[in-house]
Structure 1
């Protein structure tokens, strides 16, 4: 089965509270719950063709909401009242926000894991290795707290968990003086300053993996993958214990935040240990080769794949398609992705995630609404067998517009604020999960995603090869929209699996406004040889609506 991931942000997913008060509290705006991710909800996700569900933001994080024995955080350490799900306060616990009975939050989470597995969905959760909240303290595993055996008089020491600032405080955070800091610590984004800016990850502190990042990117002196626990830095030991804890609970894999900021030697070591516990443990990395903070001089995406990861974010493909839609590049430019390196088949592709803008945003992706999602999703998931991810709400055209609080009106669904996703809530329909609140167009869009994601599990799309057709149709007048040159808005490719003798022709119209009429695709001479069967030299596709996709199964 092809790996297809549904990113489910627990805070948003089942929340049907329509208040959406700007910078509102959990009492005002509501919050999704573990128990509300029901068997019915998970069965609908499975019916859409997904193999994995990424339960996003479940670890206990810094928050303005207090519970018995869990005090609210200092407002200086918060981005939004809900707080950043990547400012982890306890790696061994889950957020009480998501529990009906906060004291039973781990039991409620374990029950959700069981429901996911009963629905034949593997479960991924976040692993945030580069940084923790400034208020980090584990109540579940206090013996594994960070920093308690550190030497804070030194900026760097091999066995320290943190990097410590030189000189004396106080720590000036964007909102004021943070007296609780004691010896100042470097922020999660490597800012070694007593006065981090609003653009810094000031609410977090960077973890130390036995390498002084200020000395460069050469980490080869770190231990090898087979090293014993007593041969590795203390942070490695604690991180391995964290993964083991969640694996024991039933978690099947981990989405590793900003993985390129952590030494690849650690990844080789920790993924090996995780797979000794569970051979199928799945590791996906958020990583960007262009980030100066990466800890290798090589291409970090390739390095992570070589050192234990199953898949790594394909930010380049996302940016390629987005620039084509927003800046008027020719659709034929998308051929760049076909000729990419061999790693492309292991790259995680996506059209949305919690960090990126919504496809239906009024001020991104051409601002023409949710229709563009079909064209973008069809291209990114269709041109190769790589893993693909859909973000909750994408399938119903969630807009992401409006000021929610800390995140302002940025075209994203805020991960920092309590609030509802209106279109997703309309599908949830007060927990019935039948789309009863959606309009006809939104229902049709979701049905398209159901059909498309299931198509992606056909052999031709799971293991088949890809053959681009744009270059063979650049002189074809029936491969053009009115007033355009061929290949400007249309993109065509074949997928073929010899084992099943299955082949599909896919044609996408990326134009935001104009339908394509009477489209015909010419097959070059090499197609029959590639397919292993004689096929016609041309295929009549017909009309393709703007932002639409047509799929033709070929008879071989």
Structure 2
């Protein structure tokens, strides 16, 4: 937990993240012996992997000791982590596992007055509404595999408890959730009628589990990702979420649900968001793998349109295969169009699974789970991309840096553009059938609108470079209250600008690169038949040109000077001149180089916007812009560090610049000119 220091959390926040879901916080069964700290040792025969499953809870009131530096102060470390996350402007989600616990569940950290799960059960009954577990009365636990550990010690359980995946006999198989036991919420699964509910009076398990939710909410947790909620009755969720939100109104509750026919029931039961796995995830995966048409995305959002704001989109999580694995599509770039769709389609949230933003392949043979395209949750293992991305960023490959920059760019657009967070949505697929201008098997297009800001989003799920024309129907103009006219548009992904006539049933032309997309932003109040941005055809080297922006701002801040007066920025080496009040010292020169590389390491995003030259953001200087420059000005921002008008080419984020190396300097005393020579490695 302490590895999530302020710098790491700020990096996550800069990716565009609002909440962090920390998995495995609550203590679960593992094969590591922490008995010296008063933690009961677990029998290895009923633990999956060395590290164990984080969904086989052994103490609902404790923190996993593996995650602590000081095991005895593990809860304090967790509370400190929550505080740091909040200080960095984000919120904390943790798992709540309601359906099952580890076979050797025993709380040693429960508050005074709390009675442990199962402590007062009548083990002579298969079912009782007062019991916390189900029992195979008179029968020992006898699974289809050995219960001996490496020393020959046998695990004993008498009577056997029902297994977590609804196995109510005493002999689960190796593919069952044999390491867990099912919690009893007042449903008799094996009575004469097959299943009966006993919810009045309120079952004991309900009260115990609500107390657990309230305990963690009191630590400062902002929400819960609830595991396998379909295996717990909806009556409990309605009861529990009402009490939780009555005490902690801002708490969000996320449900892992796989049956779309029950989605609305769970929303009505108090869930803020539900996994959209059997729906949008399955659809997008199939589109990425070219197993179905991109137009199928329309059906997925339409089928849940009334509860769309409650759906949680994702392309990876701990249960699913990594995008870059050979089990999915083998290349993280191929899913960038799906990322754009997931992040921008509607106003609902989306989940990024750690490592996804670097293109983690998940093809390691970690141990218990083997090579399955997933990142293990059962073993002690280092995930290479995460380790490099957060501890040795200089070791990330060019491809890993590029994937990260694209994720950061897209997620920051999703978080920062009000048309995404608050705006209207219009699907364009019904007016763009298969033609030489558009191919709905691989192209997908939609609009987002907020006040006078319009986003036209078009993606290409294929490896082809395609010239397309996207039709915008009259109905979109009526629904979104769009004016017709000629508008300047900027692609928020690349900074490229264009002028297009936007009219009813007209077409918007563009070129789509392979496995990518366009996010054109138009401000519909800015229209003028003479709007032509000042474009040029210089073959610029984007890393060096972006470094020029950084160096200009570094010099302005260090020497209170103007931006460069003369610059020759090239691929091999560059030269830039400044007018200064004094000659910089050797220490100054070292500080320039150090500050430049610190900014590069911060991985600041490069973003763009078009603004009216007579309504510029504060601090923008147009004195060096030609008088015949258009009324529309392209503003380039590098994080919060530098903002200036520019029409050049840039990298997506500063980490793509490379290392800044000063080759030398010259000082002209007569003209007070300081010339910097540098290269990028």
TM-score by length of 1: 0.85
Q: 1:101 aligns with which of 70, 74, 79?
A: 70
Q: 2:465 aligns with which of 507, 515, 532?
A: 515
8 Å CA contact 2:13–2:89 kept in 1: the answer is yes
The CA distance in 1 between the partners of 2:249 and 2:196, in whole Å, is 27
Residue in 1 that maps onto 2:426: 467
Alpha-carbon deviation of 1:554? 2.3
Residue in 1 that maps onto 2:320: 356
8 Å CA contact 1:65–1:71 kept in 2: the answer is no
Q: 2:24 aligns with which of 35, 45, 57?
A: 57
The CA distance in 1 between the partners of 2:144 and 2:62, in whole Å, is 27
The CA distance in 1 between the partners of 2:258 and 2:49, in whole Å, is 26
Residue 129 of structure 2 is aligned to residue 172 of structure 1: no
Residue in 2 that maps onto 1:527: 476
The CA distance in 2 between the partners of 1:492 and 1:280, in whole Å, is 35
Alpha-carbon deviation of 1:217? 9.2
The CA distance in 1 between the partners of 2:188 and 2:208, in whole Å, is 19
The CA distance in 2 between the partners of 1:235 and 1:375, in whole Å, is 45
Unaligned runs of at least 5 residues, structure 2: 149-153, 485-501, 525-681
8 Å CA contact 1:219–1:263 kept in 2: the answer is no
Unaligned runs of at least 5 residues, structure 1: 1-33, 224-230, 291-298, 480-485
8 Å CA contact 1:62–1:133 kept in 2: the answer is yes
Write out per-residue CA displacement over residues 406-450 of structure 1, whole angstroms, 9 at most, x where no aligned residue. 1111100111111111111111124xxxx3221222112112111
8 Å CA contact 1:301–1:312 kept in 2: the answer is yes
8 Å CA contact 2:263–2:274 kept in 1: the answer is yes
Alpha-carbon deviation of 1:404? 0.7
Residue in 2 that maps onto 1:310: 272
Alpha-carbon deviation of 1:222? 2.2
Residue in 2 that maps onto 1:3: none
8 Å CA contact 1:220–1:265 kept in 2: the answer is no
Tell me the C-alpha RMSD between the 2 structures.
1.9
8 Å CA contact 1:469–1:492 kept in 2: the answer is yes
The CA distance in 2 between the partners of 1:548 and 1:47, in whole Å, is 22
8 Å CA contact 2:253–2:271 kept in 1: the answer is yes
Q: 1:493 aligns with which of 446, 454, 460?
A: 446
Alpha-carbon deviation of 1:337? 2.1
Residue in 1 that maps onto 2:388: 426
Richer in strand (by share): 2
The CA distance in 2 between the partners of 1:121 and 1:551, in whole Å, is 26
Residue in 1 that maps onto 2:12: 45
Q: 2:254 aligns with which of 284, 294, 301?
A: 284
Write out per-residue CA displacement over residues 381-400 of structure 1, whole angstroms, 9 at most, x where no aligned residue. 22111121111011110110
8 Å CA contact 2:139–2:158 kept in 1: the answer is no
Alpha-carbon deviation of 1:212? 1.2
8 Å CA contact 2:188–2:197 kept in 1: the answer is no
| Runs of 4+ off more than 6 Å | 216-220
Answer with 1 or 2: which has the greater Rg.
Answer: 2
Residue in 2 that maps onto 1:222: 199
The CA distance in 2 between the partners of 1:170 and 1:114, in whole Å, is 43
Residue in 1 that maps onto 2:295: 332
Residue 148 of structure 2 is aligned to residue 148 of structure 1: no
Residue in 1 that maps onto 2:640: none
SS at match of 1:135: coil
Alpha-carbon deviation of 1:330? 1.5
The CA distance in 1 between the partners of 2:407 and 2:26, in whole Å, is 29
Matches within 5 A, 1:227-246: 231-246=201-216
Alpha-carbon deviation of 1:471? 2.4
The CA distance in 2 between the partners of 1:444 and 1:42, in whole Å, is 21
Residue in 1 that maps onto 2:570: none
Residue in 2 that maps onto 1:451: 409
The CA distance in 2 between the partners of 1:477 and 1:336, in whole Å, is 23
The CA distance in 2 between the partners of 1:220 and 1:74, in whole Å, is 34
Number of residue pairs aligned between Structure 1 and Structure 2:
492
Q: Which has the higher contact order (CA 8 A, sep 6+)?
A: 1
